[in-house]
Amino acid sequence: MDFRLTDDQRALRQGVRALLEGRFGREELRAAVDRAEGRPPGGGRVLDRGLWRELGAAGFFALRLPESEGGVGLGLPEAVLAFEEAGRVLLPGPLVATHLAAGVVPGAAGGEVVVTSADGWLAEGGRAEECLTEGGAAGGGAAARGLACGGLVEWLDEADVVRGDATGAVRLASVDPLTPLHRLPAGADGRSAGGALRAARTPDRLVASLLTAAEQLGSASRTCESAVQHARTREQFGRPVGAFQAVQHLCADMLARVETARAAVYAASVTADPADIAAARVLADEAAVRGARDCLQVHGGMGFTWESDVHLHLKRAWVRTHRAGGVTQSEEELADDLVARTV
């Protein structure tokens, strides 16, 4: 047993980090936010298709596709490392849905096609190939079989392909400037007897949840670093604020959440065990949301401004908590797991 990253995995992480830092650094992030802000209501492209194709060329979407099918032939651990990096830089777009569509939707693997998914299709019986909708507009195409159970669709207007049934989707004024959102109508069958939303444990839903956790981890890691950097340099009362125990303890708790979530996310990528994935999700969601809040607090008044990037991390983290089986569902699954098997 050696849980640490292999040399190849370290190299992969470095490669993805270098690519993203070069292609989607802070200036590109802020430019994307400005583009999204200036977009006319209901239209205007924000997603950088050039970047999307570069990601495709680098193998970001085809990472887990077998080499025989033109993919990179790597596994979940590598995908998790790549998505962690995407989370660090707040890379926009339906990354998880497109990654899952590689090998299923033509053009997705190479980044020529942007694919999103209606979260509801992940519910029971959902088979991706049966419920593709062309064109991306809300309401078009084949209806899936009783799959709608509410939920959100990210990037509906900009996607070339929507997996699942987005019929009747309603645009939201998304809290995250870089994630346009539509809400799906709740279906009659979507709720279990207990009243909780219970999506099936399809392989794709589990992977979507895990990759979301990886993005959350990257974001949490980044906001922790940002808080620490600020605390080291920002002076009040004649000394860096990081010398004050109250601030130190905020930062220490941030790191403790990041490292605990990291262990859970990496382990889940190795075992692919549904309960491990649910645990990873719960801890990574918490690390990202609370980490961004604490980072904002450490930044003080500056943290509350639009110019600071902290709010972008917090808002995206909030959006991600609703994707592919959120916290309530993960906690319920973990509760079931307690009585289903012995340690």
Partner 1 sequence: MDLTYTPEEEEFRARLRAWLAGVLPALPPKPSPHDWPARRAYDLGWQRMLYDAGYAGLHWPVDAGGRGATPTQHLIYLEETEKAGAPYVGANFVGLLHAGPTIASEGSAEQRARWLPPVLRGEEVWCQGFSEPGAGSDLAALRTRAWRDGDDYVVSGSKIWTSHAEVADWCELLVRTDPDAPKHRGITWLAMPMDAPGITVRPLRTLAGSTEFAEVFLDEVRVPAANRVGAENDGWRVTMVTLSYERGTAFVGEVVACRRVLSEVAREARKNGRWDDAVLRRRLGRLNAEFRALWRLTQWNVSEAQSTGGVPGVGGSVFKLRYSHARQELFDAAAEVLGPESLDLGREWSLDRLSSLSYTIAAGTSQIQRNIVAERILGLPRGR
Q: In whole angstroms, give the CA distance from residue 173 to residue 265.
A: 31
Contact call for residues 61 and 107 (beta carbons, < 8 A): no
Name residues contacting partner 1, limited to 74-113 (CB under 8 A): 77
As measured in angstroms, the least distance from the Cβ of 41 to partner 1 is: 38
As measured in angstroms, the least distance from the Cβ of 8 to partner 1 is: 11
Q: In whole angstroms, give the CA distance from residue 84 to residue 17.
A: 9
Residue 253, interface with partner 1 (CB under 8 A)? Answer: yes
Query: What SS3 state is found at 38?
Result: helix
Residue 57, interface with partner 1 (CB under 8 A)? Answer: no
Contact call for residues 71 and 99 (beta carbons, < 8 A): no
Q: How many CB atoms lie within 10 A of CB 297?
A: 14
Strand partners, 275: none
Q: In whole angstroms, give the CA distance from residue 22 to residue 66.
A: 28
Residue 275, interface with partner 1 (CB under 8 A)? Answer: yes
Binding-site residue total for partner 1 (CB under 8 A)? 59
Task: Candidates 162, 207, 208, 261: give the one binding partner 1 (CB under 8 A).
Answer: 261
Question: Which residue number, 51 or 241, has a Cβ lying nearer to partner 1?
Answer: 241
Question: CA gyration radius for the chain?
Answer: 20
DSSP run (H or E) holding 163: strand 161-163
Cα-based distances in Å from 245 to 84, 167, 241: 30, 53, 9
Contact call for residues 175 and 138 (beta carbons, < 8 A): no
Binding string, residues 5-34; x marks residues near partner 1 by CB under 8 A: xx--x-------------------------
As measured in angstroms, the least distance from the Cβ of 127 to partner 1 is: 29
Task: Candidates 112, 130, 160, 331: give the one binding partner 1 (CB under 8 A).
Answer: 331
Question: Which residue number, 16 or 178, has a Cβ lying nearer to partner 1?
Answer: 16
Residue 193, interface with partner 1 (CB under 8 A)? Answer: no
Binding string, residues 218-247; x marks residues near partner 1 by CB under 8 A: ----------x--xx------xx-xxxx-x
Query: What SS3 state is found at 127?
Result: coil
DSSP structural state of residue 240: E
Question: Which residue number, 47 or 277, has a Cβ lying nearer to partner 1?
Answer: 277
Residue 294, interface with partner 1 (CB under 8 A)? Answer: no
Q: In whole angstroms, give the CA distance from residue 59 to residue 74.
A: 10
**Candidates 11-19, 31-39, 63-71, 188-196; binding stretch for partner 1 (CB under 8 A):** 188-196
Cα-based distances in Å from 90 to 172, 207, 213, 254, 322: 20, 19, 13, 18, 17
Task: Candidates 174, 248, 297, 308: give the one binding partner 1 (CB under 8 A).
Answer: 248
Binding string, residues 110-149; x marks residues near partner 1 by CB under 8 A: ----------------------------------------
Q: Which residues would be at the binding site for partner 1 (CB under 8 A)?
A: 1-6, 9, 77, 194-196, 228, 231-232, 239-240, 242-245, 247-249, 251-253, 255-256, 259-264, 266-267, 269-271, 275-276, 278-280, 282-283, 328, 330-339, 342-343
